[in-house]
Chain A
Amino acid sequence: MREGAFITLTNGFKDKLFRLAKRLLVSNEEAEDATQEVLLKLWKNKSKMAEYKNVEAFAMTMTKNYCYDKLKAKETGNLKIVHSNYKDEQPSLQRQVEARDSLDWVGKIMDNLPEQQRMIIQLRDIEQYNNPEIAEMLGINETAVRVALSRGRKKIREALLKKHNYGVV
Protein backbone atom coordinates (compact mmCIF):
# COMPACT_ATOMS: atom_id res chain seq x y z
CA MET A 1 0.00 0.00 0.00
CA ARG A 2 1.29 3.42 -0.88
CA GLU A 3 1.54 6.37 1.47
CA GLY A 4 -1.25 8.30 -0.20
CA ALA A 5 -3.72 5.43 -0.06
CA PHE A 6 -2.88 4.80 3.57
CA ILE A 7 -3.43 8.43 4.50
CA THR A 8 -6.80 8.61 2.73
CA LEU A 9 -7.84 5.39 4.42
CA THR A 10 -6.83 6.52 7.90
CA ASN A 11 -8.14 10.06 7.51
CA GLY A 12 -11.60 8.52 7.59
CA PHE A 13 -11.22 7.49 11.21
CA LYS A 14 -8.16 9.36 12.48
CA ASP A 15 -10.29 11.91 14.35
CA LYS A 16 -12.30 9.12 15.95
CA LEU A 17 -9.09 7.61 17.28
CA PHE A 18 -8.08 11.00 18.60
CA ARG A 19 -11.39 11.59 20.32
CA LEU A 20 -11.36 8.17 21.94
CA ALA A 21 -7.81 8.73 23.16
CA LYS A 22 -8.75 12.15 24.46
CA ARG A 23 -11.75 10.74 26.29
CA LEU A 24 -9.51 8.24 28.05
CA LEU A 25 -6.33 10.22 28.57
CA VAL A 26 -7.95 13.67 28.96
CA SER A 27 -4.80 15.52 27.89
CA ASN A 28 -4.82 16.88 24.35
CA GLU A 29 -1.12 16.27 23.80
CA GLU A 30 -1.23 12.73 25.02
CA ALA A 31 -4.20 12.02 22.81
CA GLU A 32 -2.28 13.39 19.82
CA ASP A 33 0.68 11.17 20.65
CA ALA A 34 -1.57 8.15 21.04
CA THR A 35 -3.14 8.76 17.63
CA GLN A 36 0.24 9.10 15.96
CA GLU A 37 1.55 6.03 17.68
CA VAL A 38 -1.39 3.90 16.62
CA LEU A 39 -1.29 5.08 13.03
CA LEU A 40 2.45 4.50 12.78
CA LYS A 41 2.04 1.01 14.14
CA LEU A 42 -0.64 0.39 11.57
CA TRP A 43 1.64 1.73 8.84
CA LYS A 44 4.49 -0.52 9.90
CA ASN A 45 2.24 -3.55 9.68
CA LYS A 46 0.64 -2.48 6.45
CA SER A 47 1.52 -5.78 4.81
CA LYS A 48 -0.94 -7.50 7.15
CA MET A 49 -3.64 -4.93 6.52
CA ALA A 50 -5.50 -7.11 4.04
CA GLU A 51 -6.01 -9.75 6.72
CA TYR A 52 -7.95 -7.40 8.97
CA LYS A 53 -11.69 -7.60 8.56
CA ASN A 54 -12.29 -4.04 9.59
CA VAL A 55 -9.27 -1.74 9.73
CA GLU A 56 -11.18 1.00 11.51
CA ALA A 57 -12.41 -1.28 14.31
CA PHE A 58 -8.92 -2.73 14.56
CA ALA A 59 -7.42 0.73 14.91
CA MET A 60 -9.97 1.64 17.59
CA THR A 61 -9.02 -1.47 19.54
CA MET A 62 -5.35 -0.57 19.21
CA THR A 63 -6.10 2.92 20.52
CA LYS A 64 -8.02 1.51 23.46
CA ASN A 65 -5.15 -0.83 24.36
CA TYR A 66 -2.57 1.91 23.94
CA CYS A 67 -4.51 4.23 26.25
CA TYR A 68 -4.99 1.51 28.85
CA ASP A 69 -1.24 0.93 28.84
CA LYS A 70 -0.62 4.63 29.31
CA LEU A 71 -3.11 4.85 32.16
CA LYS A 72 -1.62 1.82 33.83
CA ALA A 73 1.90 3.23 33.52
CA LYS A 74 0.69 6.41 35.17
CA GLU A 75 -0.92 4.54 38.02
CA THR A 76 2.19 2.55 38.83
CA GLY A 77 4.39 5.63 38.82
CA ASN A 78 5.06 7.18 42.22
CA LEU A 79 4.08 10.60 41.05
CA LYS A 80 0.47 10.61 40.15
CA ILE A 81 -0.32 13.19 37.54
CA VAL A 82 -3.93 13.19 36.57
CA HIS A 83 -3.39 15.01 33.30
CA SER A 84 -1.20 17.75 31.99
CA ASN A 85 -3.78 20.29 30.89
CA TYR A 86 -2.79 22.54 33.74
CA LYS A 87 -5.13 25.40 34.28
CA ASP A 88 -4.49 28.84 35.61
CA GLU A 89 -5.69 29.12 39.20
CA GLN A 90 -7.00 32.59 38.55
CA PRO A 91 -9.28 32.12 35.59
CA SER A 92 -9.62 34.84 33.05
CA LEU A 93 -13.02 36.27 32.25
CA GLN A 94 -13.24 33.98 29.27
CA ARG A 95 -12.48 30.97 31.46
CA GLN A 96 -15.16 31.96 33.93
CA VAL A 97 -17.66 32.25 31.15
CA GLU A 98 -16.52 28.88 29.84
CA ALA A 99 -16.79 27.26 33.24
CA ARG A 100 -20.34 28.44 33.45
CA ASP A 101 -20.94 26.89 30.11
CA SER A 102 -23.16 24.00 30.92
CA LEU A 103 -21.75 21.83 28.15
CA ASP A 104 -18.49 21.70 30.09
CA TRP A 105 -20.36 20.12 32.94
CA VAL A 106 -21.30 17.17 30.80
CA GLY A 107 -17.65 16.70 29.89
CA LYS A 108 -16.64 16.81 33.54
CA ILE A 109 -19.36 14.35 34.47
CA MET A 110 -18.17 12.03 31.74
CA ASP A 111 -14.57 12.21 32.96
CA ASN A 112 -15.73 10.87 36.30
CA LEU A 113 -17.23 7.73 34.81
CA PRO A 114 -15.33 4.44 34.92
CA GLU A 115 -13.12 4.00 31.85
CA GLN A 116 -15.23 1.37 30.18
CA GLN A 117 -18.49 3.28 30.49
CA ARG A 118 -16.77 6.43 29.34
CA MET A 119 -15.41 4.63 26.32
CA ILE A 120 -18.69 3.00 25.41
CA ILE A 121 -20.60 6.28 25.63
CA GLN A 122 -17.91 7.89 23.52
CA LEU A 123 -18.20 5.20 20.86
CA ARG A 124 -21.97 5.01 20.90
CA ASP A 125 -23.27 8.51 21.55
CA ILE A 126 -20.51 10.52 19.96
CA GLU A 127 -19.11 8.28 17.23
CA GLN A 128 -22.38 6.44 16.62
CA TYR A 129 -21.02 2.96 16.29
CA ASN A 130 -23.59 0.25 16.86
CA ASN A 131 -23.34 -2.23 19.69
CA PRO A 132 -21.93 -5.17 17.72
CA GLU A 133 -19.13 -2.91 16.43
CA ILE A 134 -18.37 -1.66 19.93
CA ALA A 135 -18.40 -5.21 21.28
CA GLU A 136 -15.87 -6.19 18.63
CA MET A 137 -13.62 -3.19 19.33
CA LEU A 138 -13.56 -3.71 23.07
CA GLY A 139 -13.51 -7.49 23.01
CA ILE A 140 -16.61 -7.90 25.19
CA ASN A 141 -20.08 -9.23 24.39
CA GLU A 142 -23.02 -7.14 23.25
CA THR A 143 -25.00 -7.52 26.45
CA ALA A 144 -22.11 -6.14 28.44
CA VAL A 145 -21.97 -3.18 26.05
CA ARG A 146 -25.68 -2.50 26.50
CA VAL A 147 -25.51 -2.77 30.29
CA ALA A 148 -22.46 -0.51 30.56
CA LEU A 149 -24.09 1.96 28.19
CA SER A 150 -27.27 2.10 30.26
CA ARG A 151 -25.34 2.44 33.52
CA GLY A 152 -23.17 5.19 32.16
CA ARG A 153 -26.08 7.13 30.75
CA LYS A 154 -28.00 6.83 34.01
CA LYS A 155 -25.01 8.07 35.97
CA ILE A 156 -24.77 11.08 33.70
CA ARG A 157 -28.50 11.69 34.15
CA GLU A 158 -28.18 11.59 37.92
CA ALA A 159 -25.25 13.95 37.93
CA LEU A 160 -27.02 16.32 35.56
CA LEU A 161 -30.07 16.28 37.82
CA LYS A 162 -27.94 17.12 40.85
CA LYS A 163 -26.22 19.88 39.01
CA HIS A 164 -29.53 21.22 37.82
CA ASN A 165 -30.99 21.25 41.31
CA TYR A 166 -28.01 22.32 43.38
CA GLY A 167 -25.50 23.62 40.91
CA VAL A 168 -22.81 21.12 41.98
CA VAL A 169 -21.63 17.84 40.66
Chain B
Amino acid sequence: MELSNIEKLLEKYFEGETTISEEKELKVYFTRETVPAHLERYKDLFQFFSQESTITATKDLKLNTRRKTRYAWVGVAASVALIAGIFLTNQPTKPDKNLGTYEDPEIALQETKKILNMVSQYMNEGKQELVYLKEFENTKNKFIK
Protein backbone atom coordinates (compact mmCIF):
# COMPACT_ATOMS: atom_id res chain seq x y z
CA MET B 1 0.00 0.00 0.00
CA GLU B 2 1.14 3.53 -0.71
CA LEU B 3 2.86 5.45 2.00
CA SER B 4 0.59 8.50 1.69
CA ASN B 5 -2.39 6.24 2.03
CA ILE B 6 -1.00 4.73 5.21
CA GLU B 7 -0.32 8.16 6.64
CA LYS B 8 -3.87 9.20 5.89
CA LEU B 9 -5.19 6.05 7.53
CA LEU B 10 -3.03 6.70 10.58
CA GLU B 11 -4.43 10.19 10.90
CA LYS B 12 -7.95 8.81 10.72
CA TYR B 13 -6.97 6.11 13.18
CA PHE B 14 -5.96 8.60 15.84
CA GLU B 15 -9.20 10.46 15.34
CA GLY B 16 -11.03 7.23 15.99
CA GLU B 17 -12.66 7.27 12.56
CA THR B 18 -11.19 4.20 10.91
CA THR B 19 -13.30 1.13 10.32
CA ILE B 20 -12.32 -2.27 11.64
CA SER B 21 -11.12 -3.38 8.22
CA GLU B 22 -8.96 -0.26 7.80
CA GLU B 23 -7.43 -0.98 11.17
CA LYS B 24 -6.71 -4.50 10.02
CA GLU B 25 -4.89 -3.06 7.00
CA LEU B 26 -2.78 -0.94 9.31
CA LYS B 27 -2.00 -3.95 11.46
CA VAL B 28 -0.93 -5.95 8.44
CA TYR B 29 1.20 -3.08 7.19
CA PHE B 30 2.99 -2.54 10.47
CA THR B 31 3.74 -6.17 11.15
CA ARG B 32 5.88 -6.27 8.00
CA GLU B 33 9.63 -6.27 8.26
CA THR B 34 10.43 -2.86 6.86
CA VAL B 35 8.63 0.31 7.72
CA PRO B 36 9.86 3.86 6.91
CA ALA B 37 11.86 5.40 9.73
CA HIS B 38 9.35 8.07 10.67
CA LEU B 39 6.65 5.44 11.11
CA GLU B 40 8.89 3.08 13.05
CA ARG B 41 7.38 4.03 16.42
CA TYR B 42 3.91 2.91 15.38
CA LYS B 43 5.26 -0.53 14.66
CA ASP B 44 5.45 -1.26 18.39
CA LEU B 45 1.88 -0.20 18.85
CA PHE B 46 0.35 -2.44 16.23
CA GLN B 47 2.62 -5.34 17.04
CA PHE B 48 1.62 -4.98 20.66
CA PHE B 49 -2.04 -5.21 19.69
CA SER B 50 -1.51 -8.39 17.68
CA GLN B 51 0.59 -9.89 20.43
CA GLU B 52 -1.95 -9.09 23.14
CA SER B 53 -4.75 -10.77 21.24
CA THR B 54 -2.99 -14.12 21.55
CA ILE B 55 -2.91 -14.22 25.37
CA THR B 56 -5.12 -16.96 26.72
CA ALA B 57 -6.46 -17.85 30.12
CA THR B 58 -4.72 -20.88 31.56
CA LYS B 59 -7.13 -22.01 34.24
CA ASP B 60 -9.74 -24.50 33.18
CA LEU B 61 -13.28 -23.84 34.16
CA LYS B 62 -14.79 -26.39 36.51
CA LEU B 63 -18.55 -26.56 36.47
CA ASN B 64 -19.30 -29.53 38.71
CA THR B 65 -21.40 -27.29 40.92
CA ARG B 66 -24.62 -29.11 40.13
CA ARG B 67 -23.30 -32.53 41.03
CA LYS B 68 -21.83 -31.16 44.22
CA THR B 69 -25.14 -29.74 45.41
CA ARG B 70 -26.94 -32.97 44.60
CA TYR B 71 -24.57 -34.96 46.80
CA ALA B 72 -24.77 -32.33 49.50
CA TRP B 73 -28.54 -32.91 49.68
CA VAL B 74 -28.00 -36.64 49.93
CA GLY B 75 -25.79 -35.97 52.94
CA VAL B 76 -28.40 -33.77 54.56
CA ALA B 77 -31.13 -36.37 53.96
CA ALA B 78 -28.94 -39.11 55.42
CA SER B 79 -28.19 -37.17 58.59
CA VAL B 80 -31.85 -36.27 59.07
CA ALA B 81 -32.81 -39.91 58.61
CA LEU B 82 -30.14 -40.98 61.09
CA ILE B 83 -31.23 -38.53 63.78
CA ALA B 84 -34.91 -39.34 63.24
CA GLY B 85 -34.06 -43.05 63.47
CA ILE B 86 -32.26 -42.63 66.75
CA PHE B 87 -35.12 -40.69 68.32
CA LEU B 88 -37.89 -42.89 67.00
CA THR B 89 -36.42 -46.25 67.97
CA ASN B 90 -35.01 -45.14 71.29
CA GLN B 91 -38.21 -43.63 72.64
CA PRO B 92 -38.26 -44.06 76.43
CA THR B 93 -40.88 -46.64 77.48
CA LYS B 94 -43.79 -45.05 79.25
CA PRO B 95 -43.82 -45.73 83.02
CA ASP B 96 -46.34 -48.39 84.10
CA LYS B 97 -49.44 -46.74 85.49
CA ASN B 98 -50.21 -49.72 87.75
CA LEU B 99 -48.22 -49.07 90.94
CA GLY B 100 -50.01 -51.78 92.99
CA THR B 101 -52.13 -49.28 94.90
CA TYR B 102 -54.89 -50.68 97.06
CA GLU B 103 -58.18 -48.87 97.33
CA ASP B 104 -59.28 -50.48 100.62
CA PRO B 105 -57.14 -49.35 103.66
CA GLU B 106 -57.81 -52.68 105.46
CA ILE B 107 -56.30 -54.73 102.70
CA ALA B 108 -53.50 -52.23 102.37
CA LEU B 109 -52.62 -52.63 106.04
CA GLN B 110 -52.59 -56.40 105.75
CA GLU B 111 -50.46 -56.35 102.69
CA THR B 112 -47.99 -53.91 104.29
CA LYS B 113 -47.75 -56.12 107.36
CA LYS B 114 -47.12 -59.11 105.18
CA ILE B 115 -44.32 -57.32 103.37
CA LEU B 116 -42.76 -56.06 106.61
CA ASN B 117 -42.96 -59.55 108.09
CA MET B 118 -41.20 -60.91 105.10
CA VAL B 119 -38.47 -58.31 105.42
CA SER B 120 -37.94 -59.01 109.13
CA GLN B 121 -37.92 -62.75 108.48
CA TYR B 122 -35.14 -62.34 105.95
CA MET B 123 -33.32 -60.03 108.33
CA ASN B 124 -33.43 -62.64 111.08
CA GLU B 125 -32.27 -65.38 108.75
CA GLY B 126 -29.36 -63.20 107.76
CA LYS B 127 -28.52 -62.38 111.35
CA GLN B 128 -28.18 -66.06 112.34
CA GLU B 129 -25.05 -66.23 110.24
CA LEU B 130 -23.54 -63.47 112.37
CA VAL B 131 -23.47 -65.78 115.42
CA TYR B 132 -20.10 -67.04 114.26
CA LEU B 133 -18.66 -63.63 114.76
CA LYS B 134 -19.06 -64.18 118.51
CA GLU B 135 -16.53 -67.05 118.34
CA PHE B 136 -13.95 -64.59 117.03
CA GLU B 137 -14.68 -62.32 119.94
CA ASN B 138 -14.29 -65.22 122.44
CA THR B 139 -11.01 -66.34 120.95
CA LYS B 140 -9.65 -62.82 120.93
CA ASN B 141 -10.61 -62.38 124.62
CA LYS B 142 -8.69 -65.52 125.48
CA PHE B 143 -5.42 -63.99 124.32
CA ILE B 144 -5.87 -60.33 124.88
CA LYS B 145 -7.00 -59.36 128.27
Q: Which residues of A contact B (CB under 8 A)?
A: 3, 6-7, 10, 14-15, 17-19, 22, 31-32, 35-36, 39-40, 43-44, 102-103, 105-107, 122, 124-128, 130, 146-147, 149-150, 153-154, 156-157, 160-161, 163-164
Selected from A35, A130, A150, A153, the residue in CB contact (under 8 A) with B59 is A35
The reply to whether A32 and B44 form a contact with Cβ atoms under 8 Å apart is no
The reply to whether B41 and A153 form a contact with Cβ atoms under 8 Å apart is no
> Which residues of B sit under 8 angstroms from A128, Cβ to Cβ?
20, 23-24, 53
The reply to whether B63 and A43 form a contact with Cβ atoms under 8 Å apart is yes
Summarize B's interface: helix, strand, loop or mixed: helix
Which residue on chain B has the smallest CB distance to residue A14?
B57
The reply to whether A156 and B45 form a contact with Cβ atoms under 8 Å apart is yes
Given contacts A10-B61, A43-B63, A150-B14, whether A125 and B49 have CB atoms under 8 Å apart is yes
What string of 1s and 0s marks CB contacts (under 8 Å) between B1-33 and chain A? 000000000000111110010011000000000
> Which residues of A sit under 8 angstroms from B17, Cβ to Cβ?
146, 150
Q: How far is the CA of A3 from the CA of B45 in the complex (A)?
A: 39
The reply to whether B65 and A153 form a contact with Cβ atoms under 8 Å apart is no
> Which residues of A sit under 8 angstroms from B42, Cβ to Cβ?
157, 160
Summarize A's interface: helix, strand, loop or mixed: helix
Which residue on chain B has the smallest CB distance to residue A29?
B59
Q: Does B103 contact A (CB under 8 A)?
A: no
Q: Does B121 contact A (CB under 8 A)?
A: no
> Which residues of A sit under 8 angstroms from B123, Cβ to Cβ?
none
Selected from A7, A106, A125, A157, the residue in CB contact (under 8 A) with B61 is A7
Given contacts A7-B61, A43-B65, A126-B49, whether A150 and B15 have CB atoms under 8 Å apart is yes
Q: How far is the CA of A3 from the CA of B40 in the complex (A)?
A: 48
> Which residues of B sit under 8 angstroms from A3, Cβ to Cβ?
63
Cβ < 8 Å to A, chain B residues 44-94: 44-45, 47-49, 51-53, 55-59, 61, 63, 65
Smallest distance from the beta carbon of B102 to chain A beta carbons, Å?
Answer: 74
The reply to whether A164 and B41 form a contact with Cβ atoms under 8 Å apart is yes
The reply to whether B13 and A153 form a contact with Cβ atoms under 8 Å apart is yes
